[in-house]
Amino acid sequence: MTTALPSNITIRSRAARNLALTLKASGPRVRRDGLIPLVRCSSTTTNASAALEATRTNTPVVNGAETPLSELPPLILYRSLFINAVSSRPWLLIPSLHLLQKLSLSGNPYLFNVSRNPLLRSILKHTFYKQFCAGETGAEAQATMKELQDMGFKGTILTFAKETVFDSKTGTEQGHGIEASTTNECQWCDNIEAWRDGTLKTVELLREGDQLATKLTGAGPGVCEALHNDAPLPKQFVDACYEISQKVKDRGAYILIDAESQHYQWGIFRLGLELQEKFNTDGNVVLYNTYQAYLKSTQDTLKKHLQIASDKGFTIGVKVVRGAYMSSDPRSLIHDTKQDTDDNYNQIAQGVLRQDFLGFGGSSKRPFPSAQLLLASHNKESLVKAHEMHQERTKANLPTVPVKFAQLHGMSDEVSFGLLKLKDDKGVAPEVYKCTTWGTLGECMAYLTRRAIENRDAASRTLDEYTALKNEAWRRLAFWR
C-alpha cells in the first residue's frame, strides 16, 4: 500500500515518510515533469567535474540520476544530513560548540563527563563520534576502514586521538589527561609510553598504502615543553619516533606528521625533517611534514625545507592543508582574508606539483628536490585544478610531482566521491584518502571540538554540503514514486 505525499512523492514505509516530511520545509521539490534539482553524473572527466559542481546547485536532471553522494550508505547519508543541519545553523552550532568545549575538559563532574554519564555518552557516540571517528577499539576502527575502502577510497589516514592544543588567547593547554600530569615529572615518561603504545597499536591497524597521522603533542607535557622551546627532546620520545617510523616503513605505509598549534610547530618541523632525512631515501617517501596555508610564513618555511632536502639529498614529503587552529593560534600569524589563504594554498600546491616554485626548478639554476605531494582540502576548486594540472603535465611528459588527495572522514563527501569520478583515459581514478581518528570518546573530544570549530569557520562550505546532502536524500526518495 502506498501513501500520497506532497510534491507527488509516494513511499512504502513510515521511515521514508518521516524523512520526506523533515526535508519538505527546506528541500527542493520534485517537479511535475519528473525532474529533480540534481545533475546526471558521467564517467568522463568533464561530466564528473560538472557533477561535482552541481551537487551544490539546483541544476535539474532526469529523475534518479546518480551524483557523487550516491555512493554513501543510507545510514551515513542521514547522519551526515543531521550533523550538517546543525553545523549550517549558527543558532544550533554555537551552543553545540560551547558544549563540546566543556566536555573536552578533564575532571568534569558526572553530568558533563562523557566517560561516566551513560546517556551523554550514548548520544555523542551515535552522532558526532560516529560521524568523524573510526572507533574506540581496534576492531571498530578496522571495520570503519574497510567500509571506507569498499566505498572506493584508496586507503585511510588513521590517527590516535591523544593531542594537546595550546590556546594563545588564554595561555592554557587543553588535552585529555593534561591536568593530571603536569605536576608529576615521572608521569611525563608514562605519557610518552602511553603515546608510543597507542601509536604502535594504530600502526598495527594499517594496511599497505594506508597512512598514519601522528600528533606529537600527544606524548605529554614534557615533550610539549621541549617542542615549544625548541629544546632537545626526551630520548625515550625520539627512540619511539624512530621505532614507529621503521614499523610503518616495513608495512608499506606512510606517516603524516600533523601540523599543530604554532606554540609547538617549530619543534615539530625540526623532528620531522630529521626523520625524513633518515627514512625518505632513494626517491621514496615514508614521512610527510604538514604545511598550513593560512599562515603568512608558510612559503618561507617551505622554501627553507626544500633547501634542506636538496642539500641533504632526501625526498621531501609535503602535505598541504589550509589550517585548523585559527581559534587558538595568534591572529597576527594568519592571512587577513580567506581569499589570501586560498591563493596561498593554490600557489603552494601548483608550484610544488609542477616542480617550479620558490626559486627551485623551472628556469632557476637550483633543481627542484625530489618530492611527493598530498593535498588535504575540502575546497573543490583547489583540488580539481591540481588534478587537471597533474593530468595535463603527465600527458605532456613535463616534470610533475606525484599527488594524492585527502578529506576528513565525515566531511565533504561530495568532494571526495566527485574526485573518484575524475578518471583518466585509462579509467584510473585519483588516489583519494579519508582521514579519521580512533580512541575512546573522552580521548577524541579535542578532535571533535576542532571539527565543530572548522564547520563554524567555513559556514559557506558547510551550507553547500548540507544542500548537497538534502539533494541526495530527495533523489533517493524519488525512487519511491
At 352, which CATH number? 3.20.20.220
Q: How confident is the model at residue 101, as a pLDDT?
A: 78
Rounded Cα–Cα distance for residues 342 and 362 (Å): 23
Q: Which residue type is seen at 290?
A: T
* pLDDT, position 395: 94
pLDDT < 70: residue spans in the chain: 1-65, 106, 162-188, 457-460, 479-481
In a domain? residue 238: yes
Instruction: Quote the pLDDT of residue 183.
Output: 39
Bridge partner list, 5: none
Does 452 reside within a domain? no
Q: Which backbone phi and psi does 273 adopt, to 5 degrees?
A: -65, -40
Largest CA distance in the chain: 76
What confidence score (pLDDT) does residue 52 get?
A: 54
Structural domain that includes position 405: 137-438
| Separation between Cα atoms, residue 431 and residue 416, nearest integer Å | 10
CA dihedral (336, 342, 343, 345) positive or negative: positive
The residue behind cell 601509536 is: 199
- CA gyration radius for the chain? 23
Instruction: Tell whether 38 is covered by a domain.
Output: no
In a domain, 122, yes or no: no
* 316 in a structural domain: yes
Calpha distance 224→217 (Å, rounded): 6
Alpha-carbon distance 357 to 392, whole Å?
A: 18
Q: Which residues contact 158 (CB under 8 A, 6 or more apart)?
A: 134, 141, 145, 202, 205, 206, 210, 211, 212, 213, 435, 436, 437, 438
Burial category of 69 from C-beta neighbours within 10 Å (exposed 0-12, middle 13-18, buried 19 and up): buried
Assess if residue 6 is contained within a domain.
Answer: no
Residue that is written with C-alpha cell 534518479 in the block: 64
Determine how many CB atoms are found less than 10 A away from the CB of residue 111.
Answer: 9
Instruction: Report the percentage of the chain scoring pLDDT > 90.
Output: 59
Domain count, the chain: 1
Residue labelled with grid coordinates 506532497: 6
Decide if 266 is inside a domain. yes
Cell 553530568 locates to: 111
How many whole angstroms separate alpha carbon 219 and alpha carbon 216? 6
Name the residue with cell 591572529: 331
Q: How far is residue 433 from each of residues 43, 111, 135, measured CA to CA in Å?
A: 20, 37, 17
Interatomic CA distance for residues 328 and 420, integer angstroms: 34
User: 93 Cβ partners below 8 Å, 6+ apart?
Assistant: 86, 87, 452, 455, 456
- 0.85 surpassed by pTM: no
Please give the Cα distance from 388 to 250 (Å, whole number): 33
β strands within 293-415, DSSP E:
316-321, 356-357, 360-361, 371-376, 403-408
Per the domain annotation, does 443 fall within a domain? Answer: no
The per-residue pLDDT for 44 is 44
Secondary structure class of 330 (helix, strand, coil): coil
C-alpha cell at 408: 576528513
Say whether 198 sits in a helix, a strand or coil.
helix
